[in-house]
Structure 1
Amino acid sequence: MSVPTGATARAGAALERAAATLTRLRRARLLHPLGRSFAGEVTIWGVAGPPTGVGMLDRPGRYPATVRLSRGVPTPDGWPDVLGLAVRMHRGEDRPFDLLVSSSRAAPVLRHLPLPRRRFAGTYSSIMSYRVGRRRIWLATLADPESVDLGRSLADVAAATRTDAPRLVLAVASAVGPWRPVGQVALGDQLSARTDAELAFDPIGNLPAGLRAAGPLAWIREHTYRGSRRARGARVQSGGSLGVTV
């Protein structure tokens, strides 16, 4: 992120205050307040073809994870909504990697836009782009055709984790290229409602080496999430503990 000018800094502070105020009025997260959280595991296979330039995505590895699925507005179960998936990959003593993706289409023209959907299935795109050197990439989770269906409601998602280990495919793409699988996200046991309420993500600060958030959406997310966290009294975990917040 570039050093903000005076006007940009003032606009960011105003956005943070607005986000904090709305969060207090809502008495919950400003964005995606209704969700369920799960223990999980992320397995990185490495990408076929040219490397991404991000060591964590190019080298095979396995990471314990915290996974949250959520409804954006939220609308009642079964109604269209912007569905969300947040994945925190714990990396020992290093800062965790927080990946936030939203329901979208897989096609290049539509992967940049959130798309309301009825079911917890299909493509979830980062919407926000990332910089790797001079290149831009997008990250996503895609439906695994061999995995159990997650259903229409958060209750359906929880039920699926009690009978199976649902999986999604982790993928990377350029602005116009196809999605290239790099790994998978597996869901495990559901976490408590208290843990879900306390969980706080930082999709801008919690990134692996070589990956930088880019574009105006990154700026909006940085200040919106910061204001919402401040109003909730939540502090992002940046150490290596498997605890989801402190």
Structure 2
Amino acid sequence: MTFTARRQPTARHPAVEAGFRLLARLRRAPALHPRGLTCRAELEVVADGGGPWGVAWLDTPGRYDAVVRLSRAAGLPRRLPDGLGLAVRVAHADGPDGALDLLLTSSGRGRVTRHLPLPRVHATGGPYSSLLPYRVAGHKGVLAAFPRRAGQGRRAGQGAVLGDPESLAGALGAGPLVFDLCAERADRSWRRFAVLSVWAVLPVGREESLDFDIYGHRLPGFGPGSALAALRRAAYRGSRAGRKEERPGALTGRSRGSA
């Protein structure tokens, strides 16, 4: 006798969805990270000499156009620490219609603190982490973006930059902000897979249709794990629904970047 496994229904978490929907409606912006700066960027997949990853995109060095949103989670005043966000959309990562989205949050770099959000004042003051594990060819580990220090990259003198949109726009006028993108190894060390260069602010309105979604924009063998996936999807749904309920005529100059 053959038994067929029944697919379990997906948890909806209506309370989470309703909460994020209300917050987005009240803010007339994403429920989290309401203030941000959307920028033109370039992502270069690099060969680090560490052997194949087992993922076609990572094993084929190349350059990709990208869009980046740098944001503040609570929208606090510029001089106060806030959770900083780094959202990345890589165009054509999996062919003409295959974009890849990454959502990273300011964090620590230790074995424990890389899984925890860490409020900061400066956008270049420390790493950004996916917080929850990704699956890279079957291996589980968080992803992280490390700002390059002064003299390390194409921008000589990349120093402390406040994380508010105005300060970031001013810093980009002097040159790109550069980040090394890394994946966590089995021994909890880091392995670099790409370099992200954030170049210039996009004109107002260019980012309005952008809606980052790490579950909808992922690659074969490279995507977020299942931990808290249902909760995060509920938060995304609520935030998007709340933004659609903005009152007619409300100001919509903010980016629609993340939940």
TM-score band, normalised by the shorter chain? Answer: 0.7 to 0.9
Higher helix share: 1
Say which SS state the counterpart of residue 207 (structure 1) adopts.
coil
Q: How far apart in 1 are the matches of 2:106 and 2:12?
A: 32
SS of the equivalent of 2:98 reads strand
Structure 1, gaps ≥5 residues long: 235-243
Residue 220 of structure 1 corresponds to which residue in structure 2?
231
TM-score when normalising by structure 2: 0.81
Q: Which runs of 4+ in 1 moved over 3 A?
A: 3-6, 195-198
> Amino acid of the residue matched to residue 43 of structure 1?
E
Question: Is residue 104–residue 123 contact of structure 1 (8 Å, CA) maintained in 2?
Answer: yes
- Equivalenced residues, count: 232
More strand by share: 1
Which residue identity lines up with residue 30 of structure 2 in the other structure?
R
Q: Is the 8 A contact 2:11 2:230 kept in 1?
A: no
Equivalent runs, 1:159-170 vs 2, <5 Å: 159-170=170-181
Aligned-residue identity in percent: 37
Aligned match for 1:112, one of 107, 112, 115: 115
Residue aligned with 2:116, SS = coil
1:231–1:42 Cα change, 3 Å: same
Q: What is aligned with 2:128?
A: 124
Shift of 1:220: 2.0
In 1: Cα distance, 2:47 partner to 2:113 partner: 25
Q: Which of the two has higher C-alpha Rg?
A: 2
- The alpha carbon displacement at 1:176 in A equals 4.6
Shift of 1:39: 0.6
- Counterpart of 2:159? 149
Aligned to 1:241: none
- Which residue of 1 is the match for residue 36 of structure 2? 35
Structure 2 match to 1:135: 139
CA RMSD between the two structures: 2.4
1:94 is displaced (CA, Å) by: 2.8
C-alpha separation between the residues in 2 aligned to 1:133 and 1:39? 29
The answer as to whether partners of 1:73 and 1:82 remain within 8 angstroms in 2 is yes
CA distance in 1, matches of 2:208, 2:37: 9
1:210 Cα shift?
A: 0.8
Shift of 1:167: 0.9
The farther-off stretch of 94-103 and 219-228 is: 219-228
